[in-house]
Chains A and B, each alone.
Chain A
Amino acid sequence: MMRNTKFMGYRRSDGSIGIRNHVLIIPTVSCVNRIAMDIANKAGGVTFMHPYGCTFDAEENAITEHSYIGHGLHPNVGAVLVLSLGCETASAARVAEAIAKSGKRVETLVVQREGGSRTTGAAGIELVRQMRRELDAQPREEGDISELLIALECGSSDAFSGLTANPAVGAAADRIVDAGGTVILSEVTEMVGAEHVLARRGKNDEIKQQLLSLIKRYEVDLSLSTEDDSGIFISPGNVAGGLTTIEEKSLGCIYKAGTRAITQIVGYGERPTQKGVIIMDTPGFDIASVTGKVAGGAHMVLFTTGKGTPAGSSVAPVVKISSNNKTFEHLREDTDISAGDILEGKKTIDQVGQEIADLVMEIANGKEAKGEYFNIQEFAIPNVSVVKKEVIHARLAEQNDFRFEQL
């Protein structure tokens, strides 16, 4: 049971509520990353670094723009500065317009028009300071757990992740969902092989079918595009480590989402419209997976880790849960809570689940997660074009068409 379901946050004009009130600087192309960082550091904003914004792959360009827009629309963001170079394929105008529809203040600066990087930077600092002052005057309002979207992620896992941290987060997820809240599980690569286990959790036949076809599509793509089929098979290394079946392997990861019914399947960066357990279509790469869920509006990320990682998000607190106490001690400045007491017999999985649920509400109410120390964070989107090209090439090769074969 959740001991507390209320928090004080920032109400947005679209009715949503944020747990932070950030001024976000969106560099629409990697060429202006440094200017965005400089503005963020000097004026109290947040931003992210990335290598995107200029591509001739239409799908990649669309995902790039949608991910920027998702971050701008994010409830934890109160105002946005769109920072553009001027000639990139990602459109600053489209991004700014889509975010402005929410009623937020959105400003745009274009380096090639302003007169250089330092002049643009100075203008940006002035704008962000102004926006920061406006947001600081905004009173906080009461929010309820049913308005929160909590993303689930695992990375830098170890042998204990599936035994302590993931089940404890699952226990917290059940509490959040039972109190009316929503959790998002992603990383479809981890679900391949255990689709029948997940499909049983679908709230109706339509969800079950969507889930099965989503996982099937990944399986086909993976089998055609990569030699590493560890997501499909259980590898000899897994077997040596003690994993017996693919079901067991996948459960260790998907158990983060607890045991409640799956209510909706959403695309990469898409905002869920249902409450409960949501599955988002993202790759397994932590940064792209977190970016997609945050672009979809996740207020916070519960990130389990065995060895420890500083990976974060510019707009959503990323809360680290270590699987063992040694990593917690070793990376104390990056890790928020440890599930290691389960190993030592000092706590049950359920007790740690309760602690995580309590921490979720504390962080929603303003307590700083360790990773929030940094105002510049990671950002990545799925590697669309590379995977697609490899799949196309492999399919052609199956038909004895070797036009793309390297000689």
Chain B
Amino acid sequence: MGDKAAIQIRDVDHVATAIEALDPGDVVKIRGAVQEYEIVAKEHIPRGHKIALRDIAEREEILKYGEIIGMATSPVPAGHWVHVHNCRGIKARRNPVAANPGDRNDA
């Protein structure tokens, strides 16, 4: 193939999932929901991780599958990596990321 690509599931989604690792400057083909289009990756994004398809404001709800998967905890410019460092679950009753199983926040 040679092309770097990411899958967008619904046309309203704010993120697409990289099917291989992306590097800054890579032209990424966005496929899945819509006619293929391109976006430039702005930072390293591992395979299976999400790239922002447009600028996302702090506290904005992030959509994937046409549903809210979480809220931005800081502004995320288009082309950047969306993950636990800038997105958290809306109704997570527990800390979604445990550094190790022992210090899970079970409140």
The interface of chain A, by Cβ under 8 A from chain B, is 159-160, 163-164, 167, 196-197, 232-234, 236, 239, 241-242, 244-248, 251-252, 255, 259, 342-345, 348-350
Contact string against A for B residues 84-107, beta-carbon threshold 8 Å, 1 for contact and 0 otherwise: 100111111010111010001000
Bound CA–CA A21/B36 (angstroms) = 44
CB-contact partner of A248 in B7, B46, B69, B94, under 8 A: B69
A159-B47, A233-B98 given; 11 more Cβ-contact pairs under 8 Å? A239-B83, A242-B17, A242-B46, A242-B48, A244-B50, A245-B96, A248-B70, A252-B65, A348-B34, A349-B9, A350-B33
Bound CA–CA A164/B31 (angstroms) = 10
Given the interface contacts A233-B96, A242-B17, A349-B32, does A247 sit within 8 Å of B84 by beta carbon?
A: no
Report whether B94 and A233 are in contact in the complex, using a CB–CB cutoff of 8 Å: yes
Interface residues contributed by chain B, number (CB under 8 Å): 42
Bound CA–CA A252/B51 (angstroms) = 17
Count of CB-CB pairs between chains A and B under 8 Å: 101
Query: In angstroms, how far is the closest chain B Cβ from the Cβ of A70?
Result: 32
The interface of chain B, by Cβ under 8 A from chain A, is 1, 3, 5, 7, 9, 17-19, 29, 31-36, 46-50, 64-70, 82-84, 87-92, 94, 96-98, 100, 104
Bound CA–CA A268/B91 (angstroms) = 28
Bound CA–CA A241/B18 (angstroms) = 11
Query: In angstroms, how far is the closest chain B Cβ from the Cβ of A20?
Result: 33
Report whether A345 and B69 are in contact in the complex, using a CB–CB cutoff of 8 Å: no
Report whether A197 and B67 are in contact in the complex, using a CB–CB cutoff of 8 Å: yes
Report whether B7 and A236 are in contact in the complex, using a CB–CB cutoff of 8 Å: no
Query: In angstroms, how far is the closest chain A Cβ from the Cβ of B27?
Result: 13
Bound CA–CA A163/B33 (angstroms) = 10
Bound CA–CA A246/B46 (angstroms) = 19
